[in-house]
Amino acid sequence: MELNRRTVIAGAAAAGIAATTLGGTAEAASGRKPVRKLFGTLADGTKVYRWSLENGGTRLKVLSYGGIVQSLELPDRHCRYANVVAGFDNVADYVAKSPYFGALIGRYGNRIGKGRFTLDGTAYQLSVNDGDNSLHGGAQGFDKHVWDVEPFVKGSDVGLHLHYTSVDGEMGYPGTLRTTVTYTLTRHGDWRIDYAATTDKATVVNLTSHVYWNLAGEGSGTIEDHELTIAASRYTPTDSGLIPTGELAGVAGTPFDFRHAKPVGRDIRAGHEQQVLAKGYDHNWVLDKGITARPEHVATLRDPRSGRTLKIATDQPGLQFYSGNFLDGTLTGTGGRTYRQGDALCLETQHFPDSPNHANFPSTVLRPGRTYRTSTLHTFGA
């Protein structure tokens, strides 16, 4: 039986489990206004704060630096909590060596080939930070800026509005981009992300969140036994620099077929040429539902050991599934253990990588007077 969050919380109450076990940490009580604490200081003296939110049995900790989800605690089927996202316990590591752990990604999630694109006849050169290519917005992406954070309580929801203004020409992108990202924890313990952005010149934009999940608990080992479902019949194969070739290839009969729940590790060593290029899975799945007016369910991740489940709904046309291929045992996580290849995975809702250079991909152009809006909903269970 799959328990949803309400069942778990109600069951715990009936079993007489104290609120402190399930909810109420000192930093944030359930459904109450988010609480701020100093987390660290950047080299230039800027203070970085950590905001704690709690609602519906989910505990979320967010940094003003990069909008980073530093910790996300969920109960398992026995109401035992674990932090299910990879991260660090200090600011210096986030600045010096983070592979985008938990961060907001902008202006452009994933790669733009050679960091180049042409828009309305003008050629733009972006910051190149991944071989020849521009990755996740360039050398100083949205993950490396301090955001203005505004907490809120609205009805039974709690959350944070995060604001960042990227000046015209930053990392090579045209237009002043004013971005607001809203993190909401609902009374059911679901985590929703709403992105909004406006520009004063035509530009391209593709925002996402780079949370690394391990539903058995951060630092607990491999995610290869996690079962994953992705509602996509096609994906975008890449070249050796992980830039899409432009083809939309069928998943049927390949290791990329996650249309039915399958352990991540089942076909990860199949030796498919695309897996060899990426050192595992690091691809954009073309979601069957396409772009939708509202978030629709596209992926389910389940850890059979703890029973924890994550369901993702989005309005976006693509999902980047990255199996933590570049984690190499050199980073020490929040809980003091090192992360090795496959110790966490990412499911990034997005437009397709390198869209500005592929006329057959859905457009990522944003023009003045229009507002870019996208939402992703994470629903948890055990």
What is the set of active-site residues? 210, 348
Q: Does 213 engage in binding with ligand GLA (CB under 6 A)?
A: no
As a 3-state breakdown, the chain gives helix, strand, coil percent values, each rounded to 5, of 10, 40, 50
Instruction: Answer whether the bond into residue 107 is a cis peptide, omega within 30°.
Output: yes
Q: Which is nearer to ligand GLA, 28 or 298 (CB)?
A: 298
Q: Which is nearer to ligand GLA, 160 or 287 (CB)?
A: 287
What dihedral do alpha carbons 240, 243, 248, 251 form, nearest 10°? 50
Which residue in 198, 320, 364, 374 binds ligand GLA (CB under 6 A)? 320
Q: Which is nearer to ligand GLA, 193 or 242 (CB)?
A: 242
**Secondary structure class of 293 (helix, strand, coil):** coil
Measured distance CA(190)–CA(276) in Å, rounded:
36
Strands 157-166 and 177-185: antiparallel
C-alpha distances in Å from residue 160, one per residue of 71, 74, 154, 163, 228: 15, 19, 11, 10, 29
**Which stretch of DSSP H or E encloses residue 93?**
helix 91-97
Q: Which is nearer to ligand GLA, 75 or 356 (CB)?
A: 356
Q: Does 317 engage in binding with ligand GLA (CB under 6 A)?
A: no
DSSP bridge pairs for 146:
65
Per-residue x/- marks for ligand GLA, 336-375, CB under 6 A?
----------x-----------------------------
DSSP bridge pairs for 163:
148, 180
In whole angstroms, how close is the CB of 236 to ligand GLA at the nearest point? Answer: 12
Q: Which is nearer to ligand GLA, 110 or 306 (CB)?
A: 110
Per-residue x/- marks for ligand GLA, 79-118, CB under 6 A?
--------------------xx---------x--------
Per-residue x/- marks for ligand GLA, 123-142, CB under 6 A?
------------x-------
Handedness of CA 353, 356, 358, 363 (dihedral sign): positive
Q: Does 175 engage in binding with ligand GLA (CB under 6 A)?
A: no
Tokens encoding 12: 């715990």
Among the residue ranges 120-128, 157-165, 256-264, 320-328, the one whose residues contact ligand GLA (CB under 6 A): 320-328
Measured distance CA(151)–CA(379) in Å, rounded:
21
- Report which DSSP code applies to 105: E
Q: Which is nearer to ligand GLA, 77 or 279 (CB)?
A: 279
**Nearest CA-CA partner of 27 in 65, 62, 64, 66:** 62
In whole angstroms, how close is the CB of 172 to ligand GLA at the nearest point? Answer: 19
Under rule CB under 6 A, how many of the chain's residues touch ligand GLA? Answer: 10
Among the residue ranges 12-20, 152-160, 243-251, 319-327, the one whose residues contact ligand GLA (CB under 6 A): 319-327
What dihedral do alpha carbons 99, 143, 337, 79 form, nearest 10°? -120
Per-residue x/- marks for ligand GLA, 232-271, CB under 6 A?
----------x-----------------------------
Which residue in 7, 118, 152, 326 binds ligand GLA (CB under 6 A)? 326
On whether the CB atoms of residues 157 and 55 are closer than 8 A, the answer is: yes
Which residue in 282, 315, 343, 354 binds ligand GLA (CB under 6 A)? 282
Measured distance CA(197)–CA(116) in Å, rounded:
22
Binding footprint of ligand GLA on the chain (CB under 6 A): 99-100, 110, 135, 242, 282, 320, 322, 326, 346
